Structure 1
Amino acid sequence: MNTVVHKSDSRGFADHGWLKSRHSFSFAGYYNPDRVHFGALRVLNDDIVAGGQGFGTHPHDNMEIVSIPLYGNLEHKDSTGTGEVIKTGDVQIMSAGSGLRHSEFNHSKEDEVQFLQIWVFPKERDITPRYEQKSFDIEDRINTFQTVVSPEGGDALWINQDAYFSLANLDAGTSLTYEVKKPGNGVYFFVLNGDIEIAGQSLSSRDAVGVTEAASINIKAKSYAEILAIEIPMEVT
């Protein structure tokens, strides 16, 4: 088992007034040659957007883009004709594929919205652009992993990659084992809240650890904790 720890305060930071963004990996004006990607995981941005503000229409191609609101609601529009409001508890995925344009705005004129914007390199290039969104019951992730993104689809959102996104809300003292679903994949654990031990590493809110060469990973919550596990191929083609 190999681990790499990314502490919260080691992330890149950009303050645009209307947007405060923390970058786990190199993005825009932040560049760290040691933090360009973790396997097929290219971007993990922790964004706070002021009321009435947002990202104007802009293009993407050949990227799987996942948005997870942490509080507040996010308004999405894209060139596939989709227009949706993504609420706390929802997860959204967009396959940019051969190319599309989209915008994301805070749905509230007054309150901030905070969300994770995550980019994953695709398995197949130039697929037809697609959009999917689903609301997940938070009760189904208490002291267990709830898979919200999967290449198999089913109850989870489908992704054009051998990747799995899972969320867990753990009571203090809870021990849990993450079983890697596809041999050779690594797992990037991002702590949303709380104090937790993952693969022997002590982590706090917004810390992360990437784990490779492991079939299973032990987790123990030192306090109430919420985590996101992103299982991802380590080879990028």
Structure 2
Amino acid sequence: MDRSPATIYLAEQRGITQADQSYRSWHTFNYGDYQNPHREAPGALRAFNEDTLAGGQRMVHQAAEAADIMLLPLVGGITVELYSGKPRRYVEAGTLLVVNLSEGEKYTVENPFEADLVSYLHVVVSRAIFKTGLELHTFDLRQHSNGMLKLAELDNGYQFLIGKFDGRAEYSQILDGPFKNSFIFIIDGVFEVQNRLLHARDGLLLTQMQEFDFEALAHNSIILLLNLS
């Protein structure tokens, strides 16, 4: 039996922040007022949230430290506005927006649709060496089935990957260079990762590993990997 160091984060046990019916955020790790001694984020990871905004609603966030903010729409699209004079950006499904912010900088996420709910992943990773800018990474999972596609990377910091798999498809992920820890998050479907069963929105943290295996147990299952040093 596999004995690799691992922690499972079940979807139904996530913390939650909400403002009436306009905004709701599920927190895999400690974030804001949600604090749990067993939910400390690993390494440079500061937040891994799933946010929803009702039609026409917006949320203003502020970076607590120099960080990379990663926004990945799951349903619909979002408009992102920075307070540093950069143009507003529309980010739709199939696109990852990475924003480099300094401590104290603000950014607004808005639902541009009046009648529809939008949902997106909101990931924050601290950055030791600050740089300014933003990056849009578009991808088509239909062209990368049964494999992992690298969306973003910071040397000695993190790798952010996504993959879509057919049922019973298997994959072996190798962590190279400084990366020895991996946070796995299931967007859709069911996976078995290192002999651990994960459903949609479940997470798994594997530590001090150089390689791990997973298998999709349902068709069109989608998995995210955040590899950390």
Indicate how the Cα distance of structure 1 residues 34 and 136 shifts in structure 2: closer, same or farther if over 3 A, else same. same
**Secondary structure in 1 matching 2:147:** coil
Corresponding residue for 2:74? 70
Q: Deviations over 1:100-148 (max 9, x none)?
A: 2221100211111100000111132xx2432111211222331000000
Distance, in Å, in 2 between the alignment partners of 1:109 and 1:218 is 42
Matched residue SS, 2:50 = strand
State the Cα distance separating 1:149 from its structure 2 match: 0.6
TM-score of the aligned structures, taking structure 2 as reference length: 0.91
Contact 2:44 2:157 in 1 (8 A): no
Matched, 1:197 2:201: no
Match of 2:23 in 1: 19
Distance 1:138 1:101 in 2: 31
Contact 1:79–1:102 under 8 Å retained in 2: yes
Match 1:119 to one of 107, 124, 134? 124
Which one of 6, 26, 29 corresponds to residue 3 of structure 1?
Answer: 6
- Cα deviations by residue, 1:32-57 (Å, 9 ceiling, x for unpaired): 1121212211101111110100113x
Gaps of 5+ in 2: none
Look up the match of 2:211.
Answer: 216
Residue among 174, 178, 200 paired with 2:173:
178
Is the Cα contact below 8 Å between 2:30 and 2:39 reproduced in 1? yes
| Counterpart position of 1:151 | 154
Distance 1:59 1:15 in 2: 17
Deviations along 1:45-100, one digit per CA (max 9) or x if unpaired, are: 111110100113x4324111100000111001112323110011010011112552
User: Structure 1 unaligned runs (5+)?
Assistant: 153-160
Pairs aligned (count): 222
Q: Is residue 217 of structure 2 the alignment partner of residue 232 of structure 1?
A: no
- Give runs of ≥4 in structure 1 deviating > 4 Å: none
Deviation (angstroms), 1:202: 0.7
TM-score (normalised: structure 1): 0.89
- Aligned-residue sequence identity (percent) comes to 22
Q: Which residue of 2 aligns with 1:84?
A: 89
Match of 2:50 in 1: 46
**CA distance in 1: counterparts of 2:200 and 2:104, whole angstroms:** 35
